Structure formats: structure tokens, C-alpha cells
């Protein structure tokens, strides 16, 4: 079982956990190229701005952490398994109880429509995963997260490994050395998520 202190130490050194499968062994990842979202220059797409303006979703934070992480752990369409094992879920549930892991939820007509979760340390937020049950729900949660992190004074939004979805959301890749410098600066500050 992953211990909370080991997981926090790993994040401080640029590592994050991924399991081979739902029941598989957990491995510690430290990619050479890291996906980050530039908080200072991020702007939502035109279509996302329209969705936010229309108020399609009600956004909350930390109201349904377990439902969010378990929804993120479901296999994506076209996939048979997930990288989010029960071992990872359990340690993040403990971190949420300690006030270190957080979720952002998108609600539509009183139902959880999408969301994301991650870990906050210093002025760094480590985005772990997101899910949608309705189109654009996770994007609305992400837009809220970026605005909230800016307002709170966060310096780093780590998106871990680049993929086409993150690229559409405005993530960029930086090399490991640049990431570690940003991480060190962010961890030196003390900012509360909520």
C-alpha cells in the first residue's frame, strides 16, 4: 500500500504514480518532457467561453471527491482498463481527508456531469485526471480550476503527460530540468487551495 508520506515525497521530486492496470502494480513516473498549463497566459477557447457564459454547468470544489476519482478510474471509451488502481484511489482519498487532494465538479440539473481531481502542494497543483458524462463538463471544471488557481496565486499547474486533449486545453511541454526549477519555486510558497 502506498503511504501518504511516500506519495508526497515523490511529488516533491517530480514523480507521480501510475498503475499498469486497475489491479496492477504501481509504477513511479518521471517523464523527460512534462505537460504544464501556463496559468498566466491561459485563455479558454471560443466554444468554451460560450459554454461558461451560458452557465450550462454549476461548478463546485471538494463536494464529491470520491465520486470524481472513481469516475476518473473508469476505463475510457475504447479502452479495457485504467491506470488508476484501487491502491492509488485509497491514498488519494486519505490525502483528500488531510486537505491535500481536491476535486472540481461540474453539475448539470443536479447530476454530476464531469470533473477532475489533483493534489495541491505549495503553489503547485498536480492535475491527475478528469472525466465527462456530458460533453464539455470536464472542460468547464478545468476552466474553473485555472481561474481559481490564478486567484489564489498558484504558480504551477502540472498536467503530467501531454495528450491531444491537454493540448486542446492549452498545455505545453517543457523539459525535465525546467519543470524541476518551476516545481522547486512553487513548493517554496505556501498557498491554500480553498
Residue 20 — pLDDT band, cuts 50, 70, 90?
Answer: confident
Q: Which of 78-82, 120-124, 161-165 has the lowest mean pLDDT?
A: 78-82
Cell of 36: 504544464
Q: Which of 30-44, 77-91, 114-128 has the lowest mean pLDDT?
A: 77-91
Cell of 82: 485504467
Q: Exposed e or buried b for every residue in 75-93, given b needs 16+ CB within 10 A?
A: eeeeeeebbbbebbbebbe
**Is pLDDT above 80 for 147?**
yes
Q: Identify the pLDDT of residue 139.
A: 93
Residue 164 — pLDDT band, cuts 50, 70, 90?
Answer: confident
Q: What is the mean pLDDT of residues 135-159?
A: 95
- The pTM of this model reads 0.94
Neighbours of 1 (CB within 10 A): 8
Query: pLDDT tens for residues 63-88?
Result: 999 999 999 998 877 677 677 999 99
Q: Specify the residue for cell string 511516500.
A: 6
**Mean pLDDT, the chain, whole residue set:** 93
Question: In this predicted model, which residue has the larger pLDDT, 56 or 107?
Answer: 107
Q: Identify the pLDDT of residue 51.
A: 86
CA-to-CA dists, residue 99 to 43, 55, 162, angstroms:
28, 28, 27
Q: Identify the pLDDT of residue 43.
A: 84
Amino acid at each position: 500500500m502506498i503511504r501518504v508520506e511516500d506519495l508526497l515525497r515523490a511529488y516533491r521530486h517530480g514523480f507521480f504514480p501510475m498503475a499498469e492496470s486497475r489491479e496492477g502494480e504501481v509504477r513511479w513516473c518521471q517523464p523527460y518532457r512534462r505537460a504544464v498549463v501556463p496559468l498566466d497566459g491561459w485563455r479558454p477557447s471560443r466554444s468554451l467561453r460560450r459554454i461558461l457564459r451560458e452557465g450550462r454547468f454549476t461548478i463546485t470544489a471538494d463536494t464529491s471527491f470520491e465520486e470524481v476519482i472513481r469516475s476518473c478510474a473508469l476505463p475510457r471509451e475504447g479502452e479495457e482498463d485504467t491506470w488508476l488502481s484501487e491502491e492509488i484511489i485509497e491514498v488519494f482519498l486519505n490525502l483528500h481527508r488531510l486537505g491535500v487532494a481536491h476535486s472540481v465538479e461540474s453539475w448539470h440539473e443536479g447530476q454530476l456531469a464531469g470533473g477532475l481531481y489533483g493534489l495541491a502542494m505549495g503553489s503547485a497543483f498536480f492535475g491527475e485526471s478528469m472525466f465527462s458524462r456530458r460533453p464539455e463538463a470536464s472542460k468547464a471544471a478545468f476552466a474553473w480550476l485555472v481561474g481559481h488557481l490564478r486567484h489564489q496565486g498558484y504558480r504551477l499547474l502540472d498536467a503530467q503527460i501531454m495528450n491531444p486533449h491537454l493540448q486542446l486545453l492549452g498545455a505545453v511541454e517543457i523539459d525535465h530540468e525546467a519543470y524541476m526549477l518551476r516545481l522547486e519555486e512553487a513548493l517554496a510558497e505556501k498557498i491554500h487551495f480553498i
